[in-house]
Structure 1
Amino acid sequence: MGEGRLQPHGDWNIFRPQAQIPKPDLFDAAMKSKWNRGCSPERRLVFASMHHIDDEMIRLFDMMGGEIRFDRAVSIAKAFLRRGDETMAWKAVRASWAEWAPVDRAQTAPLVLLIDAGLAGLVTRDRAIELVHLPRATFLFEGTAPRRGE
């Protein structure tokens, strides 16, 4: 605050969606790192998602039999949508739905499905109704840890 009003300190754009530009060189470098040699498919998927490597994300999704965390499912769904495969995009979201957990007690569903331009049109009225009626974050109520060592 200065002189009774807020003083801007720059436009950081931290809340705006960032361009998802594939960075295969960075992905390859990360995989060659001594900490990532022979890493698990889950860890490899994190890097593929982070660097927007669609082919690798989809390959790992198939290899893992669709057993992925919800945040990774969102990235994979976008990869499928970029290929024009809405059916597989929905399958990725649907397969990981039980693992989604709210960040607040008032949150009943992830907003990313409604506000992310990369997912535009994926959630139809029927799909939204289906998701709202499916159990989610059950590990919070059962006192058990989420799958895959979360």
Structure 2
Amino acid sequence: MKRICLVGLLAWAALPAIGQEKLRIIDLGEPDPTTSQAPREQTLAATAPTAGQALAFIERLSATVETGMEQLRTPQADPNQRRRQAQALAALEDEAQRFGVLFTPFHKCNEAAIDAASAWQGLIANDAKRFDSAFDSYAKAETECREAADQG
């Protein structure tokens, strides 16, 4: 009973803080016409990935996938190496999120990273169907990412 009262008291005490946070974030007022939209546009342009960044990323991803394939070719594949490979692919997958906006020239780079990580997970789980499907998708997305980077 004491726990229920304590939880209720804490929840009641948190309500004003939650309301203040919502009021601070939501601004329903009209935008100030004297402020310029140019700084915002410059910020968006600065964060948009370039063709060089996409090409460098896909090169790193391809090298990481090739390292994983070399691990598979050696019969003495260490579980620690496989785990490090999975971590490297997961880190690249996280990095690829900046390319992930659909309808941008480099969204296939994000898909390639996701498919590479998925293929490796299928390999670790001994799921040949998942590995084959994800690796084929990776190869296709990797090629399309390279083409987009070359054109961009």
**Between Structure 1 and Structure 2, which shows a larger proportion of helix residues?**
2
TM-score, structure 2 normalization: 0.26
Higher relative contact order (CA 8 A, sep 6+): 2
TM-score, structure 1 normalization: 0.26
